[in-house]
Amino acid sequence: MVDEEAAPEAAPEEDEEPVEEPEPKFEVFYSCLRCGTSVSNVELHRLPEIKCICGFRVFTKVRPPIIKSVKAV
């Protein structure tokens, strides 16, 4: 009977779910096309609608200032 009680305890250990590692998150910045105000992605998701402080709804993604140079083949 000792073996029967030990078997159910061993089963949950085998069914353990793998620990999910959090995905690396990075901030994306957008700028208003009309006034040029820079807003982060987190701030845009807090608001009920995507709108700038000036009332304009068109944003462009701000690119990082890194310039990549590729050698010609």
Q: Which residues are annotated as a binding site for Zn(2+)?
A: 35, 52, 54
Residues placed in the known binding site: 35, 52, 54
d(CA 39, CA 31): 6
42: tokens are 């987190």
What own/partner pairs with CB < 8 Å and gap ≥ 24 does 38-41 have?
A: 38/62
